[in-house]
Amino acid sequence: MTLLADIREAPPVEPGQNLATVSNRVSDIALRMPTPRWWWAGFGASFLLFIILCIAAGNLFVSGIGIWGVNIPVAWGFALANYVWWIGVASGGTIISALFFITRSEWRTAVNRVAETMTLFAAAAAGLMPIFHLGRQGLFYWLFPYPNVMGIWPQFRSPLLWDFFALLCYIIASILFWYIGLLPDWAALRDRAPTRWQQVFYGTLACGWTGAARHWKRFRVVYGIMCAFMAPMVMSVHSIVGLDFAGGLTPGWHSTQFPPYFVFGAVYSGFATVLFLVLPIRRLYRLEAFITEYHINALAKMMLATGLMLTYSYALEAFMPYYSGNPYDVKQIRNDFFDLYALQYWGKILFNVVIPQLLWFPRLRLNEPLLFLVSVGIIFGMWLERYVIVVSSLYQDFMPSAWYFFAGSLWDWLTLAGSIGLFLTGIFIFLRLVPIIAMFEMRELVHREEGAG
């Protein structure tokens, strides 16, 4: 009880911090701090995985998708599972930054920059997957609805076209949201930069920001509108991803609960990924004064709450086939329980439902090594969930003669590993060039805390 009371009473910023210490500590990471060895090691490993992605993509373009393990009836395999997984991580990051800005949640201030940045690179990894699976990747622009020379328009009833519009709008809006939120911090780095190239680089990005009252007034309006726009948009984007499945007649997919089910999973994986990134960043850059136990506890509780929402969806997923009495749906859920992909199904239950129940206990929520492992488990469990949804619903078609056991080939796994490399490479570059914490928001928080004191 004492520990729980201390957490509730703890301020979101450690005592003794002021406006100057916030600017000095955060800006020095990008401007003056030597690049640490752990950064070079992590960047090197991530960039190596990114090179593997380039090799896998090159082989795919030359040889075709036959190098993957997909075959009829499992026409979609890792590519679709990876796509839904990455877009879920991206959506979760946007929800954390936009929705909780609207609700004025103080714990968001220390982690929103990490959440927004991971959105960009996760969305980039997600956007590659449908293109990889097209077969004729060089003709991806055919997805655009334009009057081509043949007079043929895209099929507007195709979920692939829905995804195209949703993902394109989401990526553009996410880049604008991320960049607009950085304008005051770009200017702060420009003014504090010790070298000429840094002054030019950050000055260009600051777009003439001077901190004048009219700049702040316009910034508040635009940023507030962007948050109000992004929060429902991200829910609609991931709902469309869920409708990709629900719009088909395939047993295991044809479910009205898929749109909210996918949104719950997206927010869940978003919180897990933020914790996966924030916990080591907090320690390695010694930012405990700004990313405090208050923030860690809040993130862990939010992750537990969204995990319970997802658990309800899992229970509904198992209940509805028996309630409806549809023999194909009953057969599908029994396959999930006991058939060839039962290990993956129960793996997702273990990592997404069972293990996170440890977060009910305050002491365990503040145990950083344990919380990091739980976060990694949830990220892995969410990939298993997408894999099970895609593969186990397809491998037994309505015709037994077409049944096919899917197993990812080497190139499937290399593409997955390479997409992780793309994501982490972007994160490591972000750590060196961009303020890890939103300095202007943290200064406002410190100012409020000083006024309250």
Domain assignments of the chain as residue spans, ordered by start: 2-145+153-452
Sign of the dihedral through C-alpha 275, 414, 52, 54? negative
Lowest-pLDDT range of 134-143, 325-334, 412-421, 441-450: 441-450
What angle, 0 to 180 degrees and rounded to 10, lies between the N-to-C axes of helices 410-433 and 78-94? 20
For the chain, state the CA radius of gyration.
23
User: Mean pLDDT throughout 258-266?
Assistant: 89
Q: Under CATH, which number does the domain 2-145+153-452 receive?
A: 1.20.1630.10
- Give the model's pLDDT for residue 1: 46
User: Mean pLDDT throughout 59-66?
Assistant: 90
- Give the model's pLDDT for residue 378: 95
Lowest-pLDDT range of 232-241, 265-274, 336-345, 432-441: 232-241
Q: What is the SS3 assignment for 85-147?
A: HHHHHHHHHHHHHHHHHHCCCHHHHHCHHHHHHHHHHHHHHHHHHHHHCCCCHHHHHHHCCCC
Provide the pLDDT confidence category of residue 369 given band limits of 50, 70 and 90. very high
* pLDDT exceeds cutoff 90 at 348: yes
- Give the model's pLDDT for residue 8: 56
Q: Which residue has the tokens 């328009």?
A: 153
* pLDDT exceeds cutoff 50 at 96: yes
* pLDDT exceeds cutoff 70 at 9: no
* Residue-wise burial string across 12-37, b where 16 or more C-beta atoms lie within 10 A, e elsewhere: bbbeebeeebbbebbbebbbeeeeee
Q: Which residue has better confidence, 262 or 162?
A: 262
Q: Which residue has better confidence, 87 or 19?
A: 87
- Give the model's pLDDT for residue 7: 54
Q: How far is CA 271 from CA 87, 231, 248, 266, 352, in A?
A: 14, 15, 30, 9, 12
* pLDDT exceeds cutoff 80 at 49: yes
* pLDDT exceeds cutoff 70 at 325: yes
pTM value surpassing 0.75? yes
* pLDDT exceeds cutoff 90 at 12: no
* pLDDT exceeds cutoff 50 at 73: yes
* pLDDT exceeds cutoff 50 at 345: yes
Q: How far is CA 428 from the centre of its chain?
A: 16
- Give the model's pLDDT for residue 150: 65
Q: How many residues does the chain have?
A: 453
